[in-house]
Amino acid sequence: MGEELKQTPLFNYYKENNVKLMDFGGWALPIQFSSIIDEHQSVRTYAGLFDVSHMGEILVKGNDSEAFLNYLLTNDVSKMKNGQAQYNAIVNENGGTIDDLIIFKLDEKGYLVTPNASNSDRVFQWMEKHLTGDVVLENKSEEIGLLALQGPHAERILQKLANNDLSKIKPFHFVQHIELKNLSPVLISRTGYTGEDGFELYLEAGETEKLWHLLLEAGAEEGLQPCGLGARDTLRLEASLSLYGNELSDDISPLQGGIGFAVKTKKEADFIGKAALTAQLKSGVDKKIKGLKLVGKGIARHGYKVFAENGSEIGVVTSGTKSPTLGDSIALALLTTTGSDVGTNVKVEIRNKLVDAVIVQTPFYKRESKNKL
């Protein structure tokens, strides 16, 4: 295995250290280094380090960058200040989600857009197709490596390598050109996908392995562990963060997929999909992502059907696992909106058996805020 799969800059490191690699959406990446549960708990308690270099990076530059992105994306790009990151969705004319992504405002004329790995080419092509005005696109996905350092000890660990005061980087903000030891400049954002405090570090692909080692060394005392994508998935699910291909897809709008907060139909700029999303808001969405907790035994997995107590089919599980933090079997499911209030008893079909579950408030897990507001 390996030849036909895309490789991140850490591929050789994985091979040399006999880290087992899996096909993760066409990329060779580790699901786990030791155990998903250990890695998960390490992120919740101390810190974890993830290779997320498979994520895409697209540079959008030129005088009309803001107008262009505002036409393409559902959130209000005009509200962004330099050094700010914004969670966003890119939708088609019907309001179906092409991708969810984070955009970084580098300066008045430049943005960094980070689509999901599997959607990277598609997003780039979509952008090219709708290109207008003075805008230049550059797909930097292969040149940029990306590591995510997540967990309550993340700041303390990263601070050992940095001269500037990292506590000044607020959530969903970033700083460019940071010198970490003798590496080329790194872009550090206070973002992540685990429900914990943490940073994402964008750097030259060729230096990713160096940074990986520097961080693991710096974090050894703080309990930092290398983590695979298995823990990333259980962490994001506990935090109820939607994942493309599960809670979001071409057939699921951002309003249905649990990221309505990134849809600003009232922003000044017109945008692709606006009419469809406005209509959905007006009439109310017919189906929506909800949280489930299993009362009976088993694990509800992606694709399992969900039924109301009266036996009618009301939706489908989009992601499910046993929550390592809570011990419960939890799931996100796309359910018809009517009759899906929190507290409603439902049933999940697990291997031809109907297992009791209840609709619960999300997120399943929320960290205690340590930031002074």
Partner 1 sequence: MMTEDRLYSKDHEWILPLGENLVRIGITEYAVKQLGDVVYVEVPEVDAEVSAGGEIGTVESIKSASEIFSPVTGIIIAVNEELEDGPELVNASPFEEGWFAEIQLENPIELQGLLTEEQYKTYIAELAAEEEA
Please give the residue ranges that form the binding site for partner 1 (CB under 8 A): 1, 31-32, 35-37, 230, 234, 297-299, 301, 321-322, 324, 329, 351
The answer to whether residues 286 and 273 touch, using CB atoms and an 8 Å cutoff, is no
Nearer to partner 1, 42 or 88 (CB): 42
Nearer to partner 1, 1 or 373 (CB): 1
CB 27 → partner 1: shortest distance, Å?
16
Nearer to partner 1, 53 or 234 (CB): 234
Distance CA 125, CA 139 (A): 10
CB 3 → partner 1: shortest distance, Å?
10
CB 288 → partner 1: shortest distance, Å?
26
The reply, when asked if residue 200 is annotated as ligand binding, is yes
Nearer to partner 1, 97 or 321 (CB): 321
CB 231 → partner 1: shortest distance, Å?
9
CB 207 → partner 1: shortest distance, Å?
29
Nearer to partner 1, 61 or 322 (CB): 322
CB 244 → partner 1: shortest distance, Å?
18
Nearer to partner 1, 204 or 328 (CB): 328
Residues of the binding site: 200
Residues of the binding site for substrate: 200
